[in-house]
């Protein structure tokens, strides 16, 4: 995408501020006072973390490095020999916490679909890769469901894109209520979504989709004087040993195509 955010360029809410050492610490660094070995080790480690941050553009790695630096500042609190540096340490700790929070927010935004709150394509790709690797490593089942909203183009053409957006938000909200906490939902494109169901077999995945159908039936969308019932077609596939993510998604897509071909509003299991 063209935005700076998706190119990995970070713009934090607040600019970093320079931390000036206290006179006592400055005197130590200039050789006028003996340098406590533990304090010196602390600053050496912080410099190592700073170098590591400069050498990576991965937000997750940066957050992990900040966690380590924060652990070092916590440890420094308990050292009576550096009590004169406590205020500086507290300030550094607050800045690290603030920076970490800002990075976590950026990390979330670049992986979240802004309309529905589901994973976007980037976040979804990461999740599929991670869960497929986990399933391969531990020999656990993994099902994916490719969902397509029925008659979505007709809804947009008849009622406008505002209702179309409401339909997608409504669908994702019901999906999130239906799946487990460690299951994942991501927007695959347009009105298509992928639901990742780790540690689930085909019968469990189809049961989840049947619960989703009932949930949508019980909660139609009120639009003016109308009640709009949202339905979907879905293809379900369970990952085979050694199967690539693209092959798994392709089998789910073929099952989805069959579900739409034979009449929509149904769930088809991939062969």
pLDDT tens per residue across span 31-56: 444 445 666 777 777 778 777 777 77
Cα separation, 93 vs 70, in Å, equals 6
Same domain, 96 and 76: yes
pLDDT at 6: 41
The pTM score is 0.64
- With a cut of 90, say whether residue 260 has pLDDT above it: yes
What is the mean predicted confidence (pLDDT) over 94-116?
Answer: 71
- 57's tokens: 């553009």
Contacts of 270 (CB under 8 A, 6+ apart): 235, 236, 237, 238, 251, 252, 254, 255
Query: In this structure, what CATH number is given to the domain that contains residue 234?
Result: 3.30.70.270
In this structure, the dihedral spanned by the alpha carbons of residues 104, 109, 112 and 117, taken in order and rounded to 10 degrees, is: 100
Q: How many domains does the chain have?
A: 2
Same domain, 135 and 237: yes
Same domain, 103 and 140: no
**115 belongs to a structural domain:** no
**Residue 17, number of CB atoms within 10 A of its CB:** 8
- Give the residue numbers spanning the domain of 58: 5-109
| Termini Cα distance of the chain | 35
Same domain, 246 and 194: yes
């Amino acid at each position: 995408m063209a935005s700076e955010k998706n190119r990995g360029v970070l713009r934090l809410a607040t600019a970093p501020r320079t931390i000036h050492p206290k006179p006592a610490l400055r005197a130590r660094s200039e050789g006028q006072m003996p340098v406590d070995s533990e304090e010196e080790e602390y600053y050496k480690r912080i410099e190592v973390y700073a170098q590591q941050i400069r050498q990576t553009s991965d937000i997750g790695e940066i957050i992990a490095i900040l966690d380590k630096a924060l652990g070092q500042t916590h440890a420094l609190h308990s050292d009576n020999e550096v009590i004169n540096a406590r205020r500086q340490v507290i300030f550094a700790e607050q800045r690290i916490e603030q920076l970490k929070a800002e990075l976590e927010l950026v990390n979330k935004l670049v992986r979240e679909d802004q309309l529905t709150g589901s994973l976007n394509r980037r976040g979804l790709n990461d999740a599929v890769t991670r869960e497929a690797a986990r399933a391969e490593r531990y020999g656990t089942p993994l099902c994916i469901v490719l969902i397509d909203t029925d008659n979505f183009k007709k809804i947009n053409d008849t009622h406008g894109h505002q209702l179309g957006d409401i339909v997608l938000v409504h669908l994702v909200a019901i999906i999130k209520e239906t799946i487990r906490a460690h299951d994942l939902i991501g927007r695959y494109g347009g009105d298509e979504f992928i639901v990742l169901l780790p540690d689930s077999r085909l019968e469990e995945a189809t049961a989840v989709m049947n619960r989703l159908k009932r949930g949508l039936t019980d909660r139609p969308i009120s639009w003016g004087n109308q009640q709009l019932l949202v339905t979907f077609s879905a293809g379900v596939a369970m990952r085979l040993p050694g199967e690539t993510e693209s092959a798994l998604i392709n089998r789910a897509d073929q099952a989805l195509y069959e579900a739409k071909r034979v009449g929509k509003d149904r769930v088809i299991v991939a062969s």
